Chain A
Amino acid sequence: QVLLQESGPGLVKPSQTLSLTCTVSGGSVSSDIYYWSWIRRPAGKGLEWIGRIYTSGSTNYNPSLKSRVTISVDTSKNQFSLKLSSVTAADTAVYYCARAFGYSSGFDYWGQGTLVTVSS
């Protein structure tokens, strides 16, 4: 059974950097058949794809967030992480990590989500 678990601060001050980690169990972030993504859902809005990382370390980001986002992978801990800099209230959202099996199979496993509030 594959499990993904997000962790990190639930409150971040404006202009600071949001940092979250996704710990994967029951599967390996080193596998070359999966893409690991971050997705968020602001209150009252829809799902927004933030970006993805492949086991090689190759990344792709949502153009609207690209200048502020970094996604990295730590194979020794079987984790991948999200950093979002210069946050504002608009970045308040539930953040999910998720796994995609290649390009044609969708996000088949998700974390339960973690609420991050940007406020002073």
Chain B
Amino acid sequence: DIQMTQSPSSLSASVGDRVTITCRASQSISSYLNWYQHKPGKAPKLLIYAASSLQSGVPSRFSGSGSGTDFTLTISSLQPEDFATYYCQQSYSTLTWTFGQGTKVEIK
């Protein structure tokens, strides 16, 4: 199975800060990496697919990069509505898909 490891598990940041979350795969997954935002009581929301493609309707302050085993999600200027938990997810495997453990972004 492909394991996904995110870091950090949580972070505190202020509005306007640049935030970077990393995700590492236990083996190469090419660019089959997706990022989600999850707020309490709501369904997760797809932000980035195929490592760096911005999902329709998602603000341009969100960006993704990486390939192989190392990936990053960057929020260029954190907004109040961005405080949430973020997950990476690999869709490379033909057998199983897996999520990272999540990164909680909190208000400093």
Q: Cβ of B50 and Cβ of A104 under 8 Å apart?
A: yes
Q: How far is the CB of B60 from chain A (nearest CB, A)?
A: 18
Where chain A touches its partner, the secondary structure class is: strand
List of A residues within 8 angstroms of B98 by Cβ: 49
List of B residues within 8 angstroms of A104 by Cβ: 31-32, 49-50, 91
Give the CA-CA distance A110 to B87 in the complex, in Å.
Answer: 15
Q: Cβ of A105 and Cβ of B97 under 8 Å apart?
A: no
Q: Cβ of B102 and Cβ of A103 under 8 Å apart?
A: no
Q: Cβ of B96 and Cβ of A106 under 8 Å apart?
A: no
Q: Cβ of A106 and Cβ of B99 under 8 Å apart?
A: no
Bin the interface of chain A by size. Answer: 20 to 34
A6-62, CB < 8 A from B: 37, 39, 41, 46-49, 52, 60-62
Q: Chain B: how many interface residues by the 8 Å CB criterion?
A: 29
List of B residues within 8 angstroms of A62 by Cβ: 96
Q: How far is the CB of A27 from chain B (nearest CB, A)?
A: 16
Please choose the segment from B18-26, B36-44, B68-76 that sits at the chain A interface, where 4 or more of its residues have CB less than 8 A away: B36-44
Q: A46-B87, A106-B89 are in contact. Are A112 and B43 (CB under 8 A)?
A: yes
Q: A104-B32, A106-B55, A111-B43 are in contact. Are A52 and B49 (CB under 8 A)?
A: no
Q: How far is the CB of B39 from chain A (nearest CB, A)?
A: 12
Say if the beta carbon of B83 comes within 8 Å of chain A: no
List of A residues within 8 angstroms of B48 by Cβ: 106
Residue among B36, B50, B55, B91 facing the most chain A CB atoms (10 A cut-off): B91
Q: A103-B92, A106-B89 are in contact. Are A37 and B97 (CB under 8 A)?
A: yes
